Amino acid sequence: MSDSNSSPAAPAAIKVDVWSDIACPWCFIGKRKFEAGAAGFDGQVEVEYHSFELSPDTPVDFEGNEAEFLATHKGLSVEQAQGMLDNVGGIARSVGLAYDFDAMHHTNTVKAHQLIHYAKARGAQLDMNERLLAAYFEQGRHLGRTEVLADIAAEAGFDRDDVVRSLEADEYLADVRADQAQAQAFGINGVPFFVFEGKYGVSGAQDPATFRQVLDTVAAEKAGLSSVEVAQ
């Protein structure tokens, strides 16, 4: 028999799995929009990030700026690519981000993803994901280089030497590949991609209201309410 004075158990947190890439400008924008939507949600949300490489064949040291990479990758002129970056930069500013495409080092992100898994194993995945996105898009740091990643990890309180050891040994490469395999199984071919409770998928940097609506819907389902009851 339960204690009559005990409070009812709090609703379980809604699990949200997010596939993203450190080099994806929409992923940082989508992160901010999701956070805004979740902030207005009356419940708990548990977020877990998963690895996705948009351009796994990108070299560690790409010779050229971001506009030149985008032009090559998308088959555009450099002028068209720069226009796209200017547009994305404006959207980033609208959610409080200061993208610096001129300072950006376009690079292979597999080591950065391994560092996120390193942090995840130590309970600090969300913080590391945020640090790496900011380092890439706002601070112009070269995230393809182990020494730079180790510096960022040390700033987050990790043992720098151990991070170097882990990255050089590809300790978490299998975890990165497992995330990518799961994305393929789900049919995910672009990021950011948000999966709510393992069954509702939302693609792209949607408006905060969209994320809030999905959270409300999933919470109602978990509570056994109908859509009519939710609307009242």
**Residue 105 maps to which CATH number?**
3.40.30.10
Is the residue at 9 inside a domain?
no
Is the residue at 61 inside a domain?
yes
For 50, other C-beta atoms within 10 Å of its C-beta total 24
Is the residue at 32 inside a domain?
yes
Residue 230 has pLDDT above 80, yes or no: no
Is the residue at 1 inside a domain?
no
Question: Rounded to an integer, what distance in angstroms lies between the CA atom of residue 64 and that of residue 34?
Answer: 32
Is the residue at 19 inside a domain?
yes
Report pLDDT for 28.
98
Q: Taking the model in full, what pTM does it have?
A: 0.91
Residue 48 has pLDDT above 90, yes or no: yes
Helix H or strand E encompassing 19: strand 14-20
**CA distances, 20 to each of 48, 86, 110, 140, 208 (Å):** 11, 21, 12, 19, 17
Stretch 16-24: mean pLDDT, rounded?
A: 98
Report pLDDT for 223.
86
Range of the domain at 153: 14-221
Is the residue at 228 inside a domain?
no
9 confidence band (pLDDT: 50, 70, 90): low
Is the residue at 146 inside a domain?
yes
Note if the bond before 59 is cis, omega within 30 degrees: no
By residue count, the chain amounts to 232
Is the residue at 4 inside a domain?
no
Stretch 82-90: mean pLDDT, rounded?
A: 97
10 confidence band (pLDDT: 50, 70, 90): low
Report pLDDT for 231.
33
Q: Count structural domains, the chain.
A: 1
